[in-house]
Chain A
Amino acid sequence: MAEVEETLKRIQSHKGVIGTMVVNAEGIPIRTTLDNSTTVQYAGLLHQLTMKAKSTVRDIDPQNDLTFLRIRSKKHEIMVAPDKEYLLIAIQNPCE
């Protein structure tokens, strides 16, 4: 339990990180550092996107699997680490 806290805190403390959140398989945000409405939005949308990406990768090669999803936009970068049950999402402002 403590390690989880420590890990999440460490991630949050990195340079440029705007927010982190943990989402479960149903799209329910478990832990978040952002406000509720934003979290809900991110959770719902990214969950669907990750599912789609995963199925795409598996369709092309069934032996393959999605390990990481990075979405770079003009304003920041969204990093999604998928797992069977949970999703760890981090939003970072890449320093340029």
Chain B
Amino acid sequence: MEIVYVYVKKRSEFGKHCNFSDRQAELNIDIPPNPELAKQFMERNPVDTGIQCSISMSEHEANTERFEMETRGVNHIEGGWPKDVNPLELEQTIRFRKKVEKDENYVNTIMQLGSVVEHCIKQNNAIDIYQEYFDDEDAVEVMEEAPSAKTVSVFRDPQEIKRTATHISLHPDGNRKLAVAYSCLNFQRAPEGMSNESYIWDLENPNRPEIVLKPSSPLVTLEYNPKDSHVLLAGCYNGQIACWDTRKGSLVAELSTIEFSHRDPVYGTIWLQSKTGTECFSASTDGQVMWWDVRKMSEPTEVVIMDITKKELLERALGATSLEFEATLPTKFMVGTEQGIVISCNRKAKTPAEKIVCTFSGHHGPIYALQRNPFYPKNFLTVGDWTARIWSEDSRESSIMWTKYHMAYLTDGAWSPVRPAVFFTTKMDGTLDIWDFVFKQCDPALSLKVCDEALFCLRVQDNGCFIACGSQLGTTTLLEVSNGLCTLQRNEKNMVSSIFERETRREKIMETRHREMRLKKKSKAEGRESYPSEEKPALNPEQLVTEAEEEFFNVIFTELKRREAEAMKEKPKPLKLPSLQTEDEVEGEEQGEEERDGEESPTLEGQP
């Protein structure tokens, strides 16, 4: 808008000298505010303005005045000579020196100093006083701290009806997430309304699960694909195998068909090392191990039946409760069964009968965990019944090392990925045991009570520092162990390998000894009738049972008879007592008791 002020001047007055005078102020233009214009604008409330409250500072540059420098050298010349002596003249200097040498003081001083210097020279010649004595030992940072572990976070099952956390899997890279499978493993005792959901937790947020997985049947096992961290493999309670892609959502991406799946809950699912990264295998208590390709889940690519008589009969198959696979030995895998036997199998065998290579028996109950030592794959750990055992592939008769029988059932176990001598076990009384067998063999190095209910599963993170354990009420606890337990100690590898070798050798020697003894017995019994070997397994248990029963009853009868006989012997004595009692009742009774106690305490039948 242009503001214009117009004034008039006559042409004859152009160029005239200006005469200024004061004048009152005049209002030329008055533009009042126009509220209509306000409608073009919109009130903004609130308004975000950045303010900074800080000391205002200014920047200056300064340059110092140039300083002149020059490099100079100094030449030393001989000096200190008295004025009359010219250092260059040899004669004068010699004369001076001779004069000094004649001085009495000089002689005494030199004698004294000489002895001191000689002492040091001799010392130098004797030993090297600056020798490094403890060069070979590095500064030993002695980890004096006792092993310890502390809880970092706890993830509780958000559901009302609590389910057991049956399997934990850690995210393959970065370990920021934790996938937990929840189900109720008590046979047909899953409460009504129990949800089938399983969760993926973000370690930063223990309040809410990050992703929810919704299968049609509760999940027993859950594993991240080590190659593709968005894909998870799960084994269901009804025997199906399911696959999820977390990018696609919480519903199942792939599901195996019921007809071709397992008939019992799937207890072990592991991803295989393959180029496509889509192969996996699973095992269940129905006695089958099946191989799958997750792209085509309608039927398994291969099925092996865990029948140790090698006849492929499903009726005789042993139910599998744990599965083991090590990527460095791609054709071999091991299955832990309900009957307490570990079956080692070879996948690439030509005939199905040859797939089963050998068995290791030693546990009294189902084997819940089976893992090879990450540093020494020939040795593996099994956890079942009340003990944890370490086996060597060479020694098939028995385990090479085992823990004592605990008071509570052991439910899961794992090796530490950084220390070959450390392994972890969980128990039904809610304790987590950390064993370090180069430190202590009889007891765990550290035993922690994690929660009051039973602990069911365990998972160790790849750096060996963090352990996640899941409990019966669905609470997953994340623990951090002390430094000493997750850093490799000096010489540990050598010590562990020597321990394993020594124990394996011991077992072998015992094996050969047993075999010799058995051969001796056989040769003795050769004269007698020998039962056909096939029938033996069927007859012997029953026979043994009846024999045991007979023995038991015999022992009971003889003991009873013996007691009766003794009671009969004692009967004449109580007849005497009444005569004594008339005189002094208390004394007599005491006497009688003493007599009886002297003979045999439990016989109270003879008392009147």
Contacts and interface: CB of A to CB of B under 8 A. Distances in A.
Interface of A: 1, 3-4, 7-8, 10-11, 14-17, 20, 22, 24, 26-28, 30-31, 40-41, 44, 67-68, 70, 72, 77, 79, 81, 83, 85-86, 88, 90, 92, 94-96
Given A26-B80, A44-B76, A86 B121 contact: no
Interface string B84-126: 0000000000001100111001110111111111101110110
A72 B129 CA distance: 11
B67 interface: no
A27 B130 contact: no
Contacts of B114: 7-8, 10-11, 81, 88
Contact of B124 (A1, A16, A67, A86): A16
A93 B110 CA distance: 22
Contact of B125 (A1, A15, A31, A40): A15
A67 B80 CA distance: 24
Given A30-B106, A67-B116, 8 more contacts: A4-B101, A7-B114, A11-B114, A79-B117, A85-B106, A85-B109, A88-B116, A94-B124
B41 interface: no
Given A1-B102, A70-B120, A96-B128, A86 B79 contact: no
Nearest to B105: A85
A83 B109 CA distance: 7
B529 interface: no
Contacts of A94: 124-125, 128
B552 interface: no
Contact of A4 (B107, B115, B131): B107
B107 to A, nearest CB: 5
A17 B121 contact: yes
B125 A28 contact: no
B122 A14 contact: yes
Given A1-B102, A7-B110, A85-B105, A27 B80 contact: yes
A14 B118 contact: yes
- For the residues of A in contact with B, the DSSP-based class is mixed
A24 B111 CA distance: 15
Given A40-B78, A44-B76, A70-B120, A24 B110 contact: no
Nearest to A96: B128
A8 B110 contact: yes
Contact of B117 (A3, A24, A90, A95): A90
A17 B110 CA distance: 17
A44 B77 CA distance: 10
B121 A11 contact: yes
Given A11-B121, A44-B76, A28 B109 contact: no
A24 B121 contact: no
Nearest to B126: A95
B115 to A, nearest CB: 8
Given A4-B107, A16-B124, A16-B125, A88 B117 contact: yes
B110 A79 contact: no
Given A44-B76, A94-B128, A79 B121 contact: yes
Contacts of A83: 109, 112-113
Q: Which 4 A-B pairs have the closest CB atoms?
A: A26-B80, A88-B113, A7-B114, A81-B113
Given A83-B109, A95-B125, A11 B130 contact: no
6 contacts: A22-B110, A28-B81, A79-B121, A83-B113, A94-B125, A94-B128
Interface residues of B, number: 32
Contacts of B124: 16, 77, 92, 94-95
B125 A14 contact: yes
Contacts of A16: 121, 124-125
A79 B125 CA distance: 13
Contacts of B101: 1, 4, 30-31
A28 B100 CA distance: 11
A11 B76 CA distance: 29
Given A1-B107, A86-B109, A92-B124, A81 B80 contact: no
Contacts of B116: 67-68, 81, 88
Contacts of B96: 28
A49 to B, nearest CB: 14
A31 B130 CA distance: 30
B106 to A, nearest CB: 7
B121 A92 contact: yes
Nearest to B101: A30
Contacts of A14: 118, 121-122, 125
B84 to A, nearest CB: 13
Contacts of B111: 3-4, 7
B79 A90 contact: no
B127 to A, nearest CB: 9
Contacts of A28: 80-81, 96
Contacts of B109: 83, 85-86
A27 B110 contact: no
B118 A88 contact: no
B114 to A, nearest CB: 4
B85 to A, nearest CB: 9
A67 B115 CA distance: 12
A20 to B, nearest CB: 8
A83 B107 CA distance: 12
B100 A24 contact: yes
A85 B106 CA distance: 8
B81 to A, nearest CB: 6
Contacts of B81: 26, 28
Nearest to B115: A7
Nearest to A87: B113
Interface string B48-78: 0000000000000000000000000000101
Nearest to B116: A81
A81 to B, nearest CB: 4
Contacts of A8: 110, 114
Contacts of B79: 27, 44
A88 B110 contact: yes
Contacts of B113: 81, 83, 86, 88
B24 to A, nearest CB: 91
